[in-house]
Amino acid sequence: MDRRIEEEYKRVSLLVNVARLYYEHDYNQSMIADKLQLSRPYISKLIAQARDEGIVTITINDPIQTETSLERQIRQRFALRKVVVVPKSFSQDNLHKVGVACARYLNSIISDGDTIGVAWGFTMFTCAQLAIQRQDLSNVTVVQLCGGVSNSNYNIYASEIPKLFAEALSGTSYLLPLPAIMNSMQVKDSVLADHSISQALDYAKQANIALFTLGEFGTNNALANAGYIDAHQMNQLEAIGAVGDICAHFINENGELCDKSLDDRTISLPLDEIKKKDYRIAVAIGNQKVRSICGALNGGHLNVLITDEETATTVLRHFDK
């Protein structure tokens, strides 16, 4: 056996052994340490590692859909369908935990025949990687909601995300292999005349679930970094109150479109179509996303919010000013 394979086998075997003793046989950490002749702090680390790597999964059955005070405040204030707030963690990356929460929520609502429209970006990519595998579903469609970027220096995972979700959900994926913003309306109209492109947008329009993140406005905006919006255009957007974007649609603090002429050149399912979806799931964390989240809430563009504790608290403070 290859040495690296043998070492990995021993490592995983130890994790499984420790996990079985702790969770199945009710050994405490000191007892496991004595049995395996290892230190108690090391056993504690192994137990945490077994959970982090998915060797141990914990399911909490919650038939009454319990929610925290913070989740309830946000849900009631904005008349949302569901709010999931991930508690602060010092041992795990918050984005990973939010991605797991997104996967669990999607798993709880997905049904045969559903069509899911997905956006792009690292947040969505994390959610796609963590999607729960379902072999029992049929006729699930996953479609890209908006065009991406062609700048190879800035990976937004536009094509990978629908494929990953489709693989997990035993579905079929459809892509929009186009830039998010075209040079002119004429070019956009010409491109949309293509059958495969129009078919993908038709699927996006028919989707009953929209899953997206909220882009921040400023120097870290993906479309600006990819060169689709120059410094002059960014200054113009800032002057008219842009706070972020939803699927490449720039919005102000009230959730209204900032620049119709720019939006007319954008390859994306229109905002008013997104608002028709049964589930409009926004996944976003970080103080830099707060203004965008608030704008989306004001505009009614989402009815499910999945975020972390710090971001949720800051959102509420923003509205209480």
Residue extent(s) of CATH 3.40.50.1360 domains in the chain: 69-320
> Is 211 in contact with 120 (CB distance < 8 Å)?
no
How far apart, in Å, are the Cα atoms of 37 and each of 9, 30, 33?
Answer: 19, 10, 6
List the CATH code of the domain at 69-320: 3.40.50.1360
Classify 51 as helix, strand or coil.
helix
Residue 134: which of 99, 161, 109 has the closest Cα? 109
Locus of tokens 């990819």:
226
**Calpha distance 266→214 (Å, rounded):** 16
pLDDT at 150: 73
How far apart, in Å, are the Cα atoms of 98 and each of 37, 194, 196, 220, 226?
Answer: 36, 37, 33, 21, 26
- Phi (first) and psi of residue 142, to 5 degrees: -125, 125
Residue extent(s) of CATH 1.10.10.60 domains in the chain: 3-52
**Calpha distance 105→83 (Å, rounded):** 10
**Calpha distance 251→222 (Å, rounded):** 15
Written as six digits, the tokens of 150 are 């062609």
Segment-wise mean pLDDT, segments of 10 residues, the chain, 321 residues: 80 92 91 94 94 83 76 96 87 84 95 97 95 95 92 80 96 93 91 89 96 92 87 93 96 96 94 97 96 97 97 93 73
**Calpha distance 302→279 (Å, rounded):** 8
Alpha-helix residue ranges (DSSP H) falling in 217-301: 222-225, 231-239, 260-263, 271-274, 290-298
How far apart, in Å, are the Cα atoms of 148 and each of 223, 227, 273?
Answer: 9, 12, 19
**Calpha distance 290→212 (Å, rounded):** 15
DSSP state of 123: H
DSSP secondary structure of 284-310: --SGGGHHHHHHHHHTT--SEEEEEHH
Classify 142 as helix, strand or coil.
strand
Strands 82-86, 304-308: pairing kind: parallel
pLDDT at 217: 92
| Overall CATH class of domain 3-52 | mainly alpha
**Calpha distance 134→269 (Å, rounded):** 27
Q: What is the dihedral of CA 231, 234, 239, 240, to 10 degrees?
A: 150
